[in-house]
């Protein structure tokens, strides 16, 4: 029996399959629309095998997900068909009341749809993936983990905007926070790596990927996240602007003849790394262009690093100090340059990188980056071990951790927990 995790994005869907009893990873999948909307490609990668791809002609997003689920379920590369016990969805927004994973039913779908205006690209995709699962796996329970749930306890001082209070009361305009599943995972993992209880730790976690955010965590509880009402606030991202002066927006609307739709498109899809560099939204490609002497690519990287560093400083101060700075997400996990650049100037907060590793790539496959026990031995002993590293100097008061985020694992674990709790409750009746 297995657990299927679905992470539905606006233009692609990621799948992950885990063994129910052990949470061992069985396979990953990606559904993508590389060209036109009717032509999808599904790639399935078994944990111990080579990827297989299939092209699909599908009328729409939902049909694409149904076809991908069918391929996953019946694929001979995964044995004689997969029996899915529960499906876990990564969902963007469940509102400030939802703190825990939920069983998805009609009322929950209505609740999710109510927040479509906040994340108009992501929320419809999540709902389509739920509908596709209902159609492809009608008897399988579905569980949702919300990105906002980890931020259910952020205090009013952190979530209120200095706008007319009626906007909050009447329209629900407040900060929510996103990437919560990743930040929650990194909180647990950091405590495990430091051999400390989460209740003792002050953490700043930087999830830096195509979308990016940072969270301040005190005692295991999120105090604030840099994304706010929508996932547009905070850090500069691949194509998203992050925080900018609202005066600029008023200016381009009033004085430059820009329409609201054009402005939305610019802030979401034409800003960030792409907007400044003019090269790409992909950090690796911008790094490569900068290395070849492209000045705007260099500038984009400098702005990116400056903004992350400034925010880490601000968040650490809200915590009254820092026990560990965590880097995660595709950029945080892989760019040694970015991590070093962010940490420059954070010495005043007790952050000191290990100088002997300066310039070393701490890529996750790098055996030499692991201290102490043999990574291989640990990996062999536990299917739940991942190669995370502490890259701070030995005497650095604050640790600097690089953690491979595992949102899919968190979702699988919580979905499994809900199934087991329900079974136990039924046995106890």
Which residues contribute to the site for ligand AMP (CB under 6 A)? 209-210, 238, 282-284, 287, 329-331, 334-335
Minimum CB distance to ligand AMP smaller for 89 or for 207: 207
Output the six-digit token pair for 421: 């709790």
Minimum CB distance to ligand AMP smaller for 96 or for 329: 329
Whose tokens are 């105090």? That residue is 223
Q: Are 403 and 326 in contact, with CB atoms under 8 Å apart?
A: yes
CA distance 105 to 265: 33
Minimum CB distance to ligand AMP smaller for 263 or for 299: 299
Q: Are 372 and 388 in contact, with CB atoms under 8 Å apart?
A: no
Active-site residue, 147 included:
yes
Smallest separation, CB 30 to ligand AMP (Å): 11
Smallest separation, CB 231 to ligand AMP (Å): 12
Smallest separation, CB 194 to ligand AMP (Å): 23
Strands 142-146 and 84-91: parallel
Task: Tell me how far CA of residue 194 lies from CA of 82, 147, 181, 264, 349, in angstroms.
Answer: 38, 25, 20, 42, 18
Minimum CB distance to ligand AMP smaller for 96 or for 272: 272
Helix ranges (H only) for 172-226 are 180-194
CA distance 278 to 333: 24
Residue 52: exposed, middle, or buried by beta-carbon count in 10 A (0-12, 13-18, 19+)?
middle
Smallest separation, CB 31 to ligand AMP (Å): 16
Residues 6 or more apart from 212 whose CB is under 8 A from it?
A: 206, 234, 235, 236, 237, 242, 308, 329, 331
Smallest separation, CB 282 to ligand AMP (Å): 4
Q: What is the DSSP string of 122-153?
A: THHHHHHHHHHHHHHSTTS-EEEEETTGGGTT
Minimum CB distance to ligand AMP smaller for 325 or for 331: 331
Smallest separation, CB 179 to ligand AMP (Å): 10
Task: Tell me how far CA of residue 65 lies from CA of 16, 29, 53, 92, 147, in angstroms.
Answer: 13, 11, 15, 18, 21
Minimum CB distance to ligand AMP smaller for 168 or for 306: 306
Minimum CB distance to ligand AMP smaller for 126 or for 209: 209
Residue 386: exposed, middle, or buried by beta-carbon count in 10 A (0-12, 13-18, 19+)?
middle
Q: Are 201 and 216 in contact, with CB atoms under 8 Å apart?
A: no
**Nearest residue relative to ligand AMP (C-beta):** 330
Task: Tell me how far CA of residue 376 lies from CA of 202, 260, 333, 379, 380, in angstroms.
Answer: 30, 54, 20, 5, 6
Smallest separation, CB 367 to ligand AMP (Å): 17
Output the six-digit token pair for 385: 């071990």
Smallest separation, CB 238 to ligand AMP (Å): 6
Minimum CB distance to ligand AMP smaller for 159 or for 235: 235
Helix ranges (H only) for 146-269 are 156-159, 165-171, 180-194, 246-254, 260-269
Smallest separation, CB 355 to ligand AMP (Å): 21
**Phi, psi dihedral angles at 255 (to 5 degrees):** -105, -20
Minimum CB distance to ligand AMP smaller for 63 or for 364: 364
Task: Tell me how far CA of residue 39 lies from CA of 6, 33, 61, 67, 369, in angstroms.
Answer: 20, 6, 10, 12, 42
Active-site hit among 147, 323, 388, 408: 147
Catalytic residue IDs: 147
């Amino acid at each position: 029996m297995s657990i299927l995790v679905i992470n539905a994005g606006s233009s692609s869907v990621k799948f992950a399959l885990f063994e129910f009893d052990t949470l061992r990873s069985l396979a990953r999948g990606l559904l993508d629309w590389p060209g036109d909307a009717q032509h999808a490609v599904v790639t399935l990668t078994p944990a111990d095998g080579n990827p297989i791809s299939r092209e699909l002609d599908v009328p729409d997003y939902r049909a694409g997900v149904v076809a991908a689920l069918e391929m996953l379920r019946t694929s001979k590369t995964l044995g004689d068909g997969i029996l899915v016990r529960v499906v876990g969805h990564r969902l963007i927004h469940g509102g400030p009341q939802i703190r825990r994973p939920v069983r998805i039913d009609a009322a929950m779908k209505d609740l999710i749809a109510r927040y479509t205006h906040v994340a108009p690209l992501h929320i419809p995709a999540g709902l389509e993936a739920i509908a596709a699962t209902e159609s492809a796996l009608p008897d399988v329970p579905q569980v949702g983990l919300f990105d906002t749930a980890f931020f259910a306890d952020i205090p009013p001082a952190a979530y209120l905007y200095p706008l007319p209070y009626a906007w909050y009361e009447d329209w629900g305009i407040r900060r929510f926070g996103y990437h919560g599943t990743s930040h929650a995972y990194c909180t647990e993992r950091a405590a495990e790596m430091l051999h400390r209880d989460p209740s003792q730790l002050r953490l700043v976690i930087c999830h830096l990927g195509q979308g990016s955010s940072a969270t301040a965590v005190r005692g295991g509880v999120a105090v604030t996240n840099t994304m706010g009402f929508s996932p547009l606030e905070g850090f500069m991202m691949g194509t998203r602007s992050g925080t900018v002066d609202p005066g600029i927006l008023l200016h381009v609307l009033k004085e430059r003849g820009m329409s609201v739709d054009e402005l939305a498109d610019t802030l979401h899809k034409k800003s960030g790394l792409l907007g400044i560099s003019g090269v790409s939204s992909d950090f690796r490609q911008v790094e490569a262009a900068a290395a070849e002497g492209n000045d705007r690519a260099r500038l984009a990287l400098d702005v990116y690093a400056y903004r992350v560093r400034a925010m880490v400083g601000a968040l650490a101060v809200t915590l009254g100090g820092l026990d560990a700075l965590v880097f995660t997400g595709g950029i945080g996990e892989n760019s040694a340059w970015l991590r070093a650049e962010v940490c420059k100037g954070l010495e005043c907060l007790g952050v000191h990188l290990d100088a002997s590793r300066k310039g070393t790539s701490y890529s996750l496959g790098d055996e030499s980056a692991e201290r102490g026990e043999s990574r291989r031995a640990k990996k062999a002993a536990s299917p739940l071990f991942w190669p995370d590293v502490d890259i701070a100097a030995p005497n650095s008061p604050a640790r600097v951790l690089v953690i491979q985020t595992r949102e899919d694992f968190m979702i699988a674990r919580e979905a499994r927990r809900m199934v087991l709790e329900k079974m136990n409750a039924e046995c106890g009746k």
